[in-house]
């Protein structure tokens, strides 16, 4: 069991988080921490392991040793105002252990941090790569946060967080968890009208939809007689010639994809001599002609989620917040 826990969060990190939480919650007062023997028993490790953590925290001036008395937290090591008066919230994006953030996720994480600060929260990123509910519980308990904002997380992580702490989910829906999401029905109706006007019957998608509103649009188009196909834009083995032949053979007239694929689509257009109706799920620097954006107010959604989380932390009821997506022209 402990080996599995250590996979999610090293024992040294758990001890560090435990002591930093004592410092954070100390309200500006020096607090005596448990002895190395007590910490070793509490975390099931050797006293040597505990000493490594304590020595590092002391070197960083988070702890002060008073010989013959004990070891104390050092309130002067934290910035003024950071003494647990405001909630400490955890931000979880995806699995949490991404090697990098692509632009859409990076914007969402940046806005979560920004709007959390505007709400008076202190924040920390939850970065353990959890694979199931038990591992999620290990991370959440040892992170010592008061609430959680979830963005694009797995359903089991969202459920685990909500079972332990006040939690708000961004962009998707999970039963019993307050959410901020976008409804794709209005955008789906707009898109269908555009497809019918241009006599387009087949739409190519950049992989399977990863947000609920993408799935709404896809299902609406399918129920209206539009054929949906997955276009392998993300596959490194998909050469330009293959993609051009695929779009031509399948008579794809509209492509829905990430804005970063705009240069690829324009290259396909040049090779095939045919223009697509381009629907970008994220902004493109060079959208080209006949291009539209599925417009989402990401910053506004993050701000709403933070306000909801603040209400939950204050014991107030909240309800799901849903905004309509719209198609916005990117005409150059």
Q: Which residues pair with 292 in a beta bridge?
A: 279, 329
The residue extents of the domains of the chain are: 2-77, 88-177, 183-295
Burial of 5: CB neighbours in 10 Å, binned 0-12, 13-18, 19+? buried
Residue 179: CB atoms within 10 Å? 23
| DSSP 8-state secondary structure symbol assigned to residue 177 | B
Residue that is written with structure tokens 């929260």 in the block: 121
Domain 88-177, CATH? 3.40.50.2300
Residue that is written with structure tokens 């707009």 in the block: 190
Topology (CATH) of 2-77: Arc Repressor Mutant, subunit A (1.10.10)
Task: Give pLDDT tens digits along the chain (332 positions).
Answer: 444 455 456 889 899 999 998 988 887 788 999 999 999 999 999 999 999 999 999 999 999 999 989 999 998 887 665 655 678 999 999 888 888 887 778 888 999 999 999 999 999 999 888 889 999 999 999 999 999 999 989 999 999 999 999 999 998 889 999 999 989 999 999 999 999 999 999 999 987 556 788 889 999 999 999 999 998 877 655 688 888 999 999 999 999 988 888 888 999 999 999 999 999 988 777 777 889 998 888 899 999 999 999 999 999 999 999 988 889 998 75
The CATH class for the domain spanning 183-295 reads alpha beta
pTM here is: 0.80
Q: Does this chain's domain 88-177 share its CATH topology with 183-295? A: yes
């Amino acid at each position: 069991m402990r080996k599995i826990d250590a996979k999610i969060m090293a024992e040294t990190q758990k001890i560090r988080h435990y002591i930093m939480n004592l410092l954070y919650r100390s309200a500006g007062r020096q607090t005596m921490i448990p002895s190395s023997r007590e910490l070793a028993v509490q975390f099931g490790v050797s006293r040597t392991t505990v000493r490594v953590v304590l020595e590092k925290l002391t070197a960083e001036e988070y702890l002060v040793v008073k010989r013959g008395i004990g070891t104390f937290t050092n309130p002067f090591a934290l910035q003024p105002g950071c003494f647990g008066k405001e909630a400490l919230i955890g931000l979880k994006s995806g699995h949490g252990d991404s090697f990098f953030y692509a632009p859409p996720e990076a914007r969402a994480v940046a806005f979560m941090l920004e709007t959390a600060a505007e709400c008076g929260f202190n924040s920390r990123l939850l970065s353990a790569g959890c694979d199931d509910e038990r591992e999620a519980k290990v991370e959440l308990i040892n992170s010592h946060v008061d609430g959680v904002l979830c963005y694009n997380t797995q359903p089991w992580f969202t459920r685990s967080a909500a079972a332990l702490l006040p939690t708000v989910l961004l962009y998707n829906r999970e039963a019993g968890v307050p959410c901020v999401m976008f409804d794709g029905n209005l955008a789906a109706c707009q898109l269908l009208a555009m497809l019918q006007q241009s006599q387009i019957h087949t739409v190519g998608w950049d992989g399977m939809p990863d947000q609920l509103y993408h799935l709404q649009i896809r299902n609406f188009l399918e129920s209206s007689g539009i054929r949906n196909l997955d276009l392998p834009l993300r596959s490194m083995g998909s050469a330009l010639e293959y993609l051009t032949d695929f779009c031509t053979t399948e008579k794809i007239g509209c492509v829905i994809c990430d804005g970063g694929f705009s240069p690829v689509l324009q290259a396909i257009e040049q090779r095939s001599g045919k223009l697509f109706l381009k629907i970008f799920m994220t902004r493109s620097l060079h959208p080209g002609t006949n291009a539209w954006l599925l417009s989402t107010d990401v910053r506004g959604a993050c701000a709403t989620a933070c306000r909801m989380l603040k209400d939950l932390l204050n014991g107030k009821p909240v309800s799901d917040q849903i905004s309509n997506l719209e198609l916005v022209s990117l005409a150059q």
